[in-house]
Amino acid sequence: MPKITIDGNELEVAEGRTILQALDDAGLLMNGIDIPHYCWHPKLPIDGSCRLCQVEVEGIPKLQIACDTPVRDGMVVHTQNERVKQAREGVMELLLVNHPLDCPICDQAGECKLQDYTYDYGVKASRTKEPRRALKKNVDLGPTIVFDQERCILCRRCVRFCREIPKTGELAIFNRGDHSVIETFPGTPLDNPYSMNVADICPVGALTTKDFRFKIRVWFLEEVPGICTGCSNGCNIHLGVANNKVYRYVPRRNDAVNDTWICDEGRMSYRRIGAPDRLRECAVRDASGRLEPVGLDRAIDAAASRLRRLIDSKGPGVIAGLASAHATNEDLFTFRRFLAALGAETHGVAVVCGEADDLLVKREKAPNAAGAREIGFRDARAVVDRIGSGGIDAVIALGHDALQEGLLSSEEALANLDTVIVLDTHASEFQRVAHVIVPVRHAAEKLGSFVNVARRVQRVVPAVESMGESYSDGEVIAKLGAALGLEGFDGSYDARQVARDLAAANPAFAGIDLDSVGDAGRPLADAAASEAER
């Protein structure tokens, strides 16, 4: 492995990498060793056109661009000397020659690399007296993105993204020289399923999403690390939070999961968190058949007494558990323990399935199907079959994914049940038949973990408080277990402790707890072994 020296620090790097790539591999880029850059992006082909990342390499007379200069053993690089500084200032000054400098009305302000680098590496005052380019403003590129041509610095990240990642190639540079502009081809809008990523990689305010622009200034946002729950890929995200509200999801880099991307559908799924159909209070069906809002204690009491009556009359075998792939491992482990303590042997997990692609989008449209299966939940099919054959009198359902074509699509099947207890985030058809309903937290509102399709354990942390009354599924189940006097249930629920219990009980989770899993996640024991083998 070649050794290079950057600003006096020796660094061992992989063969065949460029200076910028080597620093990125080592996690040092803009994090100890600062080489400003625009056109270079870790997940896109090298372009070498912005010329901002120039560094001095000993033995080469001209300054070299760090993004495209391969490392050689013994290479000595200077990134901070006067010559480099002047070259950077030169590029920064030239980039601003035609820039409208409209930061006060630009939605990128606060997360704009042109703004940041101008403060850090730019010249103090403008020397231009010439008129700036007058170009198109507010260009509608497609259903998701708005383009300001004047702000564009022509780094071509968006062009390369469309060509290389979704491979749709909607964007191109038209014309040349200082009349170059980015455009879509006539009749070809920017509408691929990953289109909104261009707004993330645009270093300036040229490309912004219709969804987020002008909603809030980004410096008011707290960026909370989390996981997209749209499918089983579990793309890593930052939730942009302010005023106890999630304003957006943006992809968070994780080279083992989603690189730096997220699909548009997943990105927009943040809207589910504060959706109008979120359940906000517990409810119990009264004698007249109406759902009556109640407190959690009364809901637990009602559920417990219904279950107790059935256990006493028919035994626990008539109770079935339907798990949700939207619940965390901690919720599901608690539920699984509850069903075992109860003696209810009929259980399964229902997952909604849909289209997949070969980039990020997976078939299973929930974040934790793998976790549910790992914890021991079988396919929900078995539960449905037993309900159909009349062997089940009570169902405890987490979520409503079982209400789908092929599973519990008909109300009749449920209408004949003696007891339906539902723990859910959003309203569903369960509302019509459930006897007890308890609102539970969305993944953005609680601590826990998911296992993605590649068997990687990933953590979610509370980013917002839920608007109404709500609890973790595990918390509700723990209370219900205590109300039923089940062994091992004292009514308390601590996700951290449950994760440790899971690790102790299930070898696949060995050594994984909610602290050690970190923001980047960790593979399950078997996945880690096969990864190591590779």
Partner 1 sequence: MLESPYVTQYLTEHFSEADYPTLEGYERRGGYRAARKAITEMAPDEVIETVKTAGLQGRGGAGFSAGLKWSFMPKDDERPKYLVCNADESEPGSFKDRILLERGAHQMLEGILIAAWATGACATFIYIRGEYAYPAVQVERAIAEAYAKGYLGENVMGTGFRHDVQVTRGAGAYICGEETGLLESLEGKKGQPRKKPPFPAQYGAFGMPTTVNNVETFSHVPHIIGKGADWFRGFGTEKSPGTTIFGVSGHVVRPGLYELPLGTPLSEIVFEHAGGIPGGRKVKGVIPGGMSMPILPAGQLDVPMANEFLRERKTMLGTGGVMVMDETTCMVRAASVISYFFRDESCGQCTQCREGTGWMHKIIERIERGAGEEEDIDVLGDVAGKMEAKTICAFADAAAWPIQGLLRHFRDDFVEHVRQRKCPFPGSFEL
Distance of CA 41 to the CA centre of its chain: 20
3-state SS, residue 252: coil
Segment 276-295, which members bind partner 1 (CB under 8 A)? Answer: none
Instruction: Lay out the sheet containing 139-140: strands in order across.
Output: 139-140, 145-147, 207-209
Instruction: State the minimum distance, in angstroms, from the CB of residue 201 to partner 1.
Output: 18
Residue 78 Cβ vs partner 1, minimum distance, rounded to whole Å = 16
Between 178 and 312, CB nearer to partner 1: 178
In whole angstroms, the minimum distance from the beta carbon of 368 to partner 1 comes to: 45
Q: Is 390 left (phi over 0), alpha (psi -120 to 50) or beta?
A: left
Q: How far is the CB of 173 from partner 1 (least distance, A)?
A: 7
Q: Do 456 and 523 form a contact (C-beta atoms < 8 A)?
A: yes
Of 20, 141, 154, 370, the one binding partner 1 (CB under 8 A) is 154
Check if the beta carbon of residue 246 is closer than 8 Å to that of residue 270.
Answer: yes
Shortest distance (Å) from residue 9 CB to partner 1 = 26
Q: How far apart are CA 500 and CA 273, in angstroms?
A: 28
Interaction mask 176-205, partner 1, x per CB under 8 A: xxxxx-------------------------
By CB under 8 A, tell whether 505 contacts partner 1: no
DSSP 3-state of 392: coil
Interface segment toward partner 1; rule CB under 8 A; list 171-179, 195-203, 342-350, 390-398: 171-179
Q: For partner 1, give the closer residue by CB, 67 or 196.
A: 67
- What the block records as the tokens of 271 is 């809207």
Contacts with partner 1 in 27-66 (CB under 8 A)? 46, 48-52, 54, 62-63
Residues 70-89 that bind partner 1 (CB under 8 A): 87
Closest to partner 1 by CB, 93 or 469: 93
Residue 62: CB minimum distance to partner 1, A: 5
Shortest Cβ distance from residue 49 to partner 1 (Å)? Answer: 4
In 3D space, the residue among 495, 528, 532 whose CA is nearest the CA of residue 513 turns out to be 495
Q: CB-wise, 152 or 483, nearer to partner 1?
A: 152
Nearer to partner 1, 75 or 394 (CB): 75
Between CA 172 and CA 55 the distance in angstroms is 29
Cβ contact 367:326 at 8 Å? yes
Choose between 146 and 154: whose C-beta lies nearer to partner 1. Answer: 154
Least CB distance from residue 260 to partner 1, whole Å?
A: 23
Sequence-separated (6 or more) residues with CB below 8 Å from residue 517? 449, 457, 458, 459
| CB of residue 274 to partner 1, shortest distance in Å | 42
Q: Which helix (H) or strand (E) holds 22?
A: helix 19-25
The residue among 384, 383, 392, 394 whose CA lies nearest residue 307 is 394
Residue 177 Ramachandran class (φ > 0 left, ψ -120 to 50 alpha, else beta): left
- Residue 133 vs 245, nearer CB to partner 1: 133
Q: Output 125 or 287, the one with its CB closest to partner 1.
A: 125
Q: Which residues pair with 10 in a beta bridge?
A: 5
Cα(485)–Cα(479) distance, integer angstroms: 10
Measure CA 340 to chain center: 32
Determine the size of the site formed for partner 1 (CB under 8 A). Answer: 32
87 vs 300, beta carbon nearer partner 1 = 87
- Stretch 215-244 residues interacting with partner 1 (CB under 8 A): none
Tell me how long the chain is: 534
Q: Please say which residue, 82 or 178, places its beta carbon nearer to partner 1.
A: 178
68: contact with partner 1 by CB under 8 A: yes
Q: Which helix (H) or strand (E) holds 456?
A: strand 456-460
Query: Which residue bears the tokens 């994760």?
Result: 499
**Cα angle at 495 between 492 and 501, to 5 degrees?**
90
Residue in 14, 30, 60, 173 binding partner 1, rule: CB under 8 A: 173
- To partner 1, the closest distance from the beta carbon of 94 in angstroms equals 4
Does the protein bind partner 1 through residue 169 (CB under 8 A)? Answer: no
Tokens of 309: 């009556």
Q: Can you say whether residue 142 is alpha, beta or left, with left for phi > 0 and alpha for psi between -120 and 50 degrees?
A: left
Residue 124 or 129 with smaller CB distance to partner 1: 129
Identify the burial level of 485 via C-beta atoms within 10 angstroms of its C-beta, where 0-12 means exposed, 13-18 middle and 19 or more buried. exposed
User: At its nearest, how many Å lie between partner 1 and the CB of residue 277?
Assistant: 49
> Measured from the CB of residue 172, what is the shortest distance to partner 1 in angstroms?
9
Shortest CB 198 distance to partner 1, Å: 19
- The binding track of 376-415 with respect to partner 1, each residue x by CB under 8 A or -, is ----------------------------------------
Q: Which is nearer to partner 1, 88 or 459 (CB)?
A: 88
Provide the β-strand partners of residue 242: 245
Which residues ranging from 88 to 147 are in contact with partner 1 (CB under 8 A)?
Answer: 90-91, 93-95, 97-98, 127-131
Cβ nearer to partner 1, comparing 95 with 294: 95
Task: Sort 504 into a burial class: Cβ within 10 Å, 0-12 / 13-18 / 19+.
Answer: exposed
- Give the interface with partner 1 as residue ranges (CB under 8 A): 46, 48-52, 54, 62-63, 68, 87, 90-91, 93-95, 97-98, 127-131, 153-154, 173, 175-180
